[in-house]
Amino acid sequence: MCNLCHSTRYSCGLWRRDVKALMWKELRENRMKMIIGCVLLSVIGAAVSIAYRFLEGGIPGMGQIPPEYADLIKKLLPDFSNVNAYLYSQWFSKNLQQVGAILAVVLLGSAVAGERELHTAIFLFSRPVSRGMILAAKVIVLFGGLVLAVLVSTGGAVLGALIVGKAPQLAFVLAATLHSVVALIAFASLATLLSVLVPDRVKAMLFSGGILIVLSVAGQFKPLHWLNPLALFGSPNLIVRPVPQLVPIVVGMVLSGCMLWISYRMLQRQEF
C-alpha cells in the first residue's frame, strides 16, 4: 500500500506499472549515451589526475623562456600547490563541468523534443498517465544517469590521483562532487525546459548549449562574473575548507526546481 494515498502501489504515482514501463523505455533508449558519458568522463578524470605527476615540477625548458612570457605561462598553468587545488581547478570546476554539461544537454535536450520529432508524442501522451508523471519518469532516469556519470568519473579521477601517489582529501572530494552534481542538474534542468519549448531535439540541444556558452563568456567580465554557470555553483573555499557551501547549493536547487516546474506547466498546455 502507498503510505500517502493508501492505494495499491501499482496504481499510485511512480509505483504504477505503466510509469515503470516508461522509465525502462527511457533507460533502454538512453543507456548507450549514459555508458559513453561514464567512460569518456572517467578516462578524462583519470588522465587529468595522472597528468599532475608530470606537470607538478613545471614545464621542461621554462628557464629558457623570456621572463615576460614565462610569467604569462605561469598564470595559465593550474595550481600545483596541492592535489586538492589541482583537482578543483582542472577537474571539478573545469573538465567535469564542461564535458558533463555536454552530456546533460545531450541526455535532456531530446527528452520531450525527441518524442515530437519522432512522432511518438501523440502515442506517449495519450496513455493513461499524467503528463507530469511522464516528465517525472524521464527526469528521474536521465538525471540518475547524469549523476552516475559524475560519481563514476570522479572515482576515476581519485583513482588516477592514487596511482601517482597523491591522495586527495576525502571531505574535499565529497563536497566538490556535491557541488558538481548540483551544477549539472541545473544544466540538465535548462535542457529539459528547452526540450519542452522547442519541438526539434537538435535545436533544443543547440539552444541549451548556446545559452550556457553565452553565459560563460559574459561571466568572464568581472561585473558579470555571477552569470558564469561554470563558476556559479562552485567555490574555491572548498580547497581550504572542504564543507559544502550553502549559497551555491541552494541557488542551484532553486534554479533547477523553477526550470522543472516551468517545464511541467508548459508541457500541460501543449497539444500533440
- Count of structural domains within the chain: 1
Domain assignment present for residue 94? The answer is: yes
Say if residue 204's pLDDT is above 90. Answer: yes
Residue 220 in domain: yes
Domain that holds residue 257: 17-269
What pLDDT does residue 241 have?
87
118-167 pLDDT per residue, tens? 888 778 777 778 888 989 999 999 999 999 999 999 999 999 999 988 88
What confidence tier does 47 reach under pLDDT thresholds 50, 70, 90? very high
The model carries a pTM of 0.85
Higher pLDDT, 227 or 174: 174
Residue type at 175?
Answer: A
Any idea which residue has 578516462 for its cell? 43
In a domain, 79, yes or no: yes
Q: Is residue 174 part of a domain?
A: yes
AA letter at 213: I
Q: Is residue 3 part of a domain?
A: no
- For residue 28, CA distances in Å to 4, 138, 188, 250 come to 30, 12, 19, 32
Q: Confirm whether 7 is domain-assigned.
A: no
Nearest in space to 100 (alpha carbons), one of 59, 138, 145 = 145
pLDDT of residue 77: 59
Decide which of 227 and 24 is more confident: 24
39 assigned to some structural domain: yes
Is residue 1 one of the residues assigned to a domain?
no
* % of the chain residues with pLDDT over 90: 47
Question: 81 pLDDT exceeds 90?
Answer: no
pLDDT value at residue 57: 58
**Burial, 177: exposed, middle or buried (Cβ in 10 Å; 0-12, 13-18, 19+)?**
buried
